[in-house]
C-alpha cells in the first residue's frame, strides 16, 4: 500500500475501476453454489441476506457451504430423533398388536435397538451443534464474534435501562 498522497494517475485508475465495478464497491450478495440442495441454497440466501453485502468474501464460501449443510443435516437429525422419541412409549403395545406372538425378549431387543439409535442420534446432533457454533463464530455470525466483551456488556446494560414493552401494550 502506498504511503502519502496518491498520484493523479492512481486516482484516475481508481475511478475507472469503480466505474467498471472492479473495486468491490458494487458488491452483490453471493450466489449459492450449484452443489447445494434446494434447502441448503435457501439457507445460504437467508444467511447472506442477514449480513452486509460484502460480509462474505470468496475465501469464506467453503465455510458457508459447510454451515448450510450442517444446518440442514441438523434439522433432519432433529426430525428423526423426534420420530424415535415419539415411537418409544407406544412401541411395546404396537408390537403386541401387530404380532400377538411377540415375546417379551423380542420387545426388549427391539426397544434396546431403538434406544441405541436414539443415543446415536443425540451424539450426531451434538456434533452438528458444535460444528454449527464453530462455523457461525468463524464466519462472525454470532454476537460473541462481532462484539468485544465490554461492548456487549454495554449494549446489554443499555437495553436493560429501557422500559420493557409488552406485546399487548399499545403504542
CB neighbour burial string for 17-34, b if at least 16 within 10 angstroms, e if fewer = eeeeeeeeeeeebbebee
Tens digits of per-residue pLDDT, 5-41?
766 655 555 444 444 444 444 457 889 999 999 999 9
Contact 64, 139 (CB under 8 A): yes
Could you tell me which residue, 161 or 111, shows the higher pLDDT?
111
Mean pLDDT, the chain, rounded, equals 81
Please report, for the chain, the start and end positions of each structural domain, with discontinuous segments joined by +: 34-143
Three cell numbers, residue 105: 425378549
Tell me the mean pLDDT in the region 100-105. Answer: 84
Tell me the mean pLDDT in the region 56-74. Answer: 95
- Reported as a pLDDT band with limits 50, 70 and 90, residue 65 is very high
Tens digits of per-residue pLDDT, 43-64?
999 999 988 888 899 999 999 9
pLDDT of 106: 85
CATH number of 34-143: 1.10.287
pLDDT of 28: 78
| Residue 20 DSSP symbol | H
Amino acid at each position: 500500500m502506498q504511503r502519502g498522497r496518491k498520484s493523479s494517475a492512481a486516482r484516475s485508475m481508481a475511478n475507472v475501476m469503480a466505474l467498471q465495478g472492479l473495486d468491490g464497491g458494487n458488491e452483490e450478495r453471493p450466489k449459492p453454489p450449484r452443489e447445494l440442495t434446494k434447502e441448503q441454497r435457501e439457507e445460504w440466501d437467508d444467511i447472506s441476506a442477514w449480513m452486509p453485502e460484502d460480509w462474505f468474501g470468496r475465501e469464506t464460501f467453503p465455510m458457508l457451504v459447510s454451515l448450510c449443510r450442517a444446518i440442514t443435516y441438523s434439522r433432519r437429525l432433529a426430525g428423526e430423533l423426534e420420530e424415535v422419541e415419539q415411537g418409544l412409549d407406544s412401541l411395546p403395545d404396537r408390537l403386541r398388536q401387530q404380532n400377538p406372538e411377540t415375546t417379551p425378549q423380542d420387545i426388549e431387543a427391539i426397544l434396546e435397538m431403538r434406544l441405541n439409535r436414539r443415543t446415536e442420534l443425540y451424539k450426531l446432533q451434538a456434533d452438528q451443534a458444535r460444528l454449527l457454533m464453530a462455523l457461525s463464530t468463524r464466519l462472525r455470525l454470532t454476537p460473541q464474534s462481532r462484539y468485544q466483551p465490554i461492548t456487549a456488556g454495554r449494549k446489554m446494560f443499555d437495553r436493560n435501562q429501557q422500559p420493557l414493552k409488552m406485546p399487548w401494550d399499545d403504542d
